A and B are shown apart, each in its own frame.
Chain A
Amino acid sequence: MSEFENWRLLLSLLQNISLNPETKDSVGWALDKKGLYNTKSLYRFLSNGGFPSRMAGHIWKCRIPLKIKFFLWQMFNNKLPVGASLIKRGWRGSGKCSLSDDLETADHIFFRFRCFLARLCWSILKEVFNWGVMPRSIKSLTETWLWGKGPLPKRLIMFTFAGLSWALWTTRNKMTIEHKFSKSPSDIMYLALSYLQKWAVLLKEEDRERMEAVRSAIMNWMKMFKPNVVPISDVVEI
């Protein structure tokens, strides 16, 4: 830009400002409307260029235990200690999923669990929520699923999603760390339902009723699904 253009720009900036001889100059924190320093505004500025992350907002507002909020936040930011991430940090394990030969990534745990573990759960949610197709990755979930138009408000989709992913994660931990395998793939869904029921006390009353309807819809789908005769080890081979 030429000096002259800069000069005109400076003058136009000044035009909107007038001084007030009655008051003294003061220094304020520019990232906050009130001019007061707070870590929240600085964190936003540093991590997201000043804009609050949409996903973070939905996670923090969701009525679930704090521990689960942290878990979701880690999951959406790919910060969970899954096999692939541990290897990156120099861990000497195999980094593989305990049920298959695939490298264990977050997407693998939550969406591609070989055998039906994750997929069964998603297909049930797909039916209950009337989704067109099943989500295949955390990315596709954040881009479309959580914001899709459906019978449920976003906060309850997030609530349901929190229950299912926590169930998948705790099941994964049981298998990977304690080497305990559940007897039936539907156990995960029942575990998820038990979390949802436990957390329902945190919801507002009208939402609690809506979640109750979701719960019974899921239960109905579960009754139609009878894999109990097939132990997990057999399903894995499919």
Chain B
Amino acid sequence: MGNGDNCRFWQDCWLLNVPPKIAFDDLYKMVRDPYVSVSDCWEGEIGLWTLGDPFL
């Protein structure tokens, strides 16, 4: 994993052997923007995941 710009959070196999949209299909249904990139979910300055954002 690099800066996360070229990787889709839900569609790509970056976390597990399957895309998160398969592994966490119930969560994926609730996502507001399914095509959000990995870097969109990461707050570099504080070094934290801000996964709340893509959800409703």
Interface residues of chain A, those whose CB is within 8 Å of chain B, are 3, 6-7, 9-11, 13-15, 17-26, 30
- Which residues of the other chain, A, contact B51 by a CB distance below 8 angstroms? 10-11, 14
- Which residues of the other chain, A, contact B6 by a CB distance below 8 angstroms? 24-25
Contact between A10 and B20, CB atoms less than 8 A apart? yes
Q: Name B1-55 residues within 8 Å CB distance of A.
A: 1-7, 13, 15-17, 20, 24, 26-27, 30, 38-39, 42, 44, 47, 49, 51
Q: In the docked arrangement, what's the CA distance between A11 and B41, Å?
A: 12
Would you give 9 A-B contacts (Cβ < 8 Å), ordered by A? A3-B30, A6-B26, A9-B24, A11-B49, A19-B3, A20-B1, A25-B1, A25-B4, A25-B6
Residue in contact with A24 in the complex, picked from B3, B27, B38, CB distance below 8 Å: B3
Instruction: Return the chain A residue nearest B13 by Cβ.
Output: A30
- Which residues of the other chain, A, contact B2 by a CB distance below 8 angstroms? 19-20, 22-26
- Which residues of the other chain, A, contact B15 by a CB distance below 8 angstroms? 13-14, 17
A70 → chain B, closest Cβ, in Å?
33
Interface residues in B, total, Cβ within 8 A: 23
A3 → chain B, closest Cβ, in Å?
5
- Which residues of the other chain, A, contact B7 by a CB distance below 8 angstroms? 25
Q: In the docked arrangement, what's the CA distance between A96 and B47, Å?
A: 72
Instruction: Return the chain B residue nearest A2 by Cβ.
Output: B26
Contact between B1 and A17, CB atoms less than 8 A apart? yes
Contact between B16 and A24, CB atoms less than 8 A apart? no
Q: In the docked arrangement, what's the CA distance between A97 and B34, Å?
A: 65
Q: In the docked arrangement, what's the CA distance between A26 and B4, Å?
A: 9
- Which residues of the other chain, B, contact A14 by a CB distance below 8 angstroms? 15, 49, 51
Are A3 and B27 also in contact (CB < 8 A) when A14-B49, A19-B39 are? yes
Instruction: Return the chain A residue nearest B37 by Cβ.
Output: A25
Contact between B5 and A30, CB atoms less than 8 A apart? no
B44 → chain A, closest Cβ, in Å?
6
Q: Beyond A7-B27, A19-B42, list 9 extra A-B contacts (CB 8 Å).
A: A6-B24, A6-B27, A9-B24, A17-B1, A18-B42, A19-B4, A20-B2, A21-B3, A24-B2
Q: In the docked arrangement, what's the CA distance between A18 and B1, Å?
A: 8
Q: In the docked arrangement, what's the CA distance between A171 and B43, Å?
A: 73
Contact between A10 and B38, CB atoms less than 8 A apart? no
Q: In the docked arrangement, what's the CA distance between A136 and B44, Å?
A: 65
Q: In the docked arrangement, what's the CA distance between A11 and B1, Å?
A: 17
Residue of A7, A11, A14, A22 with highest tally of chain B CB at under 10 A: A14
Instruction: Return the chain B residue nearest A13 by Cβ.
Output: B15
